[in-house]
Amino acid sequence: MRVAIVDESAARASIIEEGLSALDGCEIFVIGERHGLLARIAEIGPDIVLMDLGNPSRDVLEEYFAVSRALDRPIAMFVDESDEESIAASVEAGVSAYVVDGLAAKRIRPLLDLAVRRFNAFARLQSDLDEVKGKLAERETIDRAKRILMDSRGFGEPQAYGEMRKAAMDQGRRIVDIAEAIVTAHELMGGK
Amino acid sequence: MTSELTIGFLPLVDACLPILAREHGFAEEEGISLRMVKDVSWATVLDRLLYGHSDAAHLVAPLAIATTLGRGRPAQSLSVPFVLGLNGNAVTVRPEIADVIGVSGKLTDPSEAGAKLALLARERKFAGKPLRFGVVHRHSSHNYMLRYWLASCGIVPDRDVEMETVPPPFCADALESGDVDAICVGEPWNSVAVEKGAGRIVLATAQIWRRGVEKVLAMREPVLEQRRSTVEGLIRAMRKAGKHFIDPENWDVNAQILSRSEYLDGDAKLIRHAISDRLLLEAGGEPVEYPDFMFQYREAANFPWVSQAQWLYSQMVRWEALEYSIEDAAKAGRVFRPDVYRSALSGTGDPLPSANSKVEGSLTQPTAVGAQQGDITLSNNRFFDGRVFDPADIPGYLASLP
Q: In chain B, what are the domain boundaries? A: 89-208
Q: Which residues contact A76 (CB under 8 A, 6 or more apart)?
A: A65, A98, A99, A100, A101
Give one DSSP letter per residue of B235-247, joined into a string: HHHHHHHHHHHH-
| A44 plus A80 within the same structural domain | yes
Q: What is the pLDDT of residues A111-125, one digit of tens each?
A: 888 888 888 888 888
- Gap between the terminal Cα atoms of chain B: 55
> Looking at A86, A107, A127, which one is the last position of a domain?
A127
Superfamily of structural domain B89-208: Periplasmic binding protein-like II (3.40.190.10)
Pick from A109, A1, A122: nearest CA to A52: A122
| A120 plus A136 within the same structural domain | no
**Looking at beta carbons, which residues of chain A come within 8 Å of B43?**
58-59, 62, 96
| A25 plus A80 within the same structural domain | yes
A107: CATH: 3.40.190
Interface touch B41/A63, C-beta < 8 Å? no
Alpha-carbon dihedral angle through residues B25, B29, B32, B37, given to the nearest 10 degrees: -10
CA dist B132 and B135 (Å) reads 10
| A113 plus A43 within the same structural domain | yes
Interface touch B166/A66, C-beta < 8 Å? no
ipTM of the prediction: 0.89
Interface touch B43/A63, C-beta < 8 Å? no
Element (H, E) at B195: helix B189-195
| A98 plus A174 within the same structural domain | no
CA dist B353 and B348 (Å) reads 14
Residue B70 DSSP SS3: coil
Interface touch B164/A87, C-beta < 8 Å? no
pLDDT for res A72:
56
Shortest distance between the Cα of B184 and any Cα of chain A, in A, equals 15
Angle between helices A105-153 and A10-20 (to 10 degrees): 140
Shortest distance between the Cα of A32 and any Cα of chain B, in A, equals 16
CA dist B358 and B348 (Å) reads 23
Contact B36, B18 (CB under 8 A): yes
Percent of chain A with pLDDT over 70: 91
- B53 has a chain A CB within 8 A of its CB: yes
| A22 plus A94 within the same structural domain | yes
> Looking at A76, A104, A127, which one is the last position of a domain?
A127
Task: Tell me which of B10, B38, B41 to substitute to probe the interface with A (most A C-beta atoms closer than 10 Å).
Answer: B41
CA dist A33 and A6 (Å) reads 8
Cα B55 → chain centroid: 21
Q: How high does pLDDT run on average in chain A?
A: 85
Given A56, A81, A91, which is nearest B47 (Cβ)?
A: A91
Given A55, A63, A91, which is nearest B51 (Cβ)?
A: A91
CA dist B27 and A54 (Å) reads 28
Interface touch A53/B73, C-beta < 8 Å? no
A176: CATH: 1.10.10.10
Burial pattern A129-165, b for ≥16 Cβ within 10 A else e, equals eeeeeeeeebeebbeebbebbeeeeebeeeebbebbe
Greater confidence (A41 vs B150) lies with B150
Count: domains in chain A = 2
Given A60, A66, A88, which is nearest B72 (Cβ)?
A: A66
Interface touch A34/B137, C-beta < 8 Å? no
pLDDT for res A148:
94
Residue A185 DSSP SS3: helix
The boundaries of the domain holding residue A50 are 2-127
| A184 plus A101 within the same structural domain | no
pLDDT for res A80:
53
Q: Residue A79: pLDDT above 60?
A: no
Alpha-carbon dihedral angle through residues B306, B308, B310, B313, given to the nearest 10 degrees: -140
pLDDT in tens, chain B (402 residues): 789 999 999 999 999 999 999 999 999 999 999 999 999 999 999 999 998 999 999 999 999 999 999 987 788 999 999 999 999 999 999 999 999 999 988 999 999 999 999 999 999 999 999 999 999 999 999 999 999 999 999 999 999 999 999 999 899 999 999 999 999 999 999 999 999 999 999 999 999 999 999 999 999 999 999 999 999 999 999 999 999 999 999 999 999 999 999 999 999 999 999 999 999 999 988 899 999 999 999 999 999 999 999 999 999 999 998 999 999 999 999 999 999 999 999 999 999 999 999 999 999 999 999 999 999 999 999 999 999 999 999 999 999 999
CA dist B174 and A175 (Å) reads 49
Altogether, the residues listed in chain B come to a count of: 402
| A52 plus A68 within the same structural domain | yes
CA dist B37 and B15 (Å) reads 11
C-alpha distances in angstroms, B8 versus A89, A161, B41, B311? 19, 43, 11, 25
Q: Which residues contact B387 (CB under 8 A, 6 or more apart)?
A: B152, B361, B397, B400, B401
> Looking at A127, A149, A168, which one is the last position of a domain?
A127
pLDDT for res A192:
56
Shortest distance between the Cα of B17 and any Cα of chain A, in A, equals 23
How many CB atoms sit inside 10 A of residue B247's CB? 11
Interface of A with B in 30-69 (CB under 8 A): 34, 53-60, 62-64, 66
Q: DSSP assignment, residue A137?
A: H
Interface touch A63/B73, C-beta < 8 Å? no
Pick from B328, B295, B302: nearest CA to B394: B328
Interface touch A81/B42, C-beta < 8 Å? no
Interface A-B: count of C-beta contacts within 8 A: 55
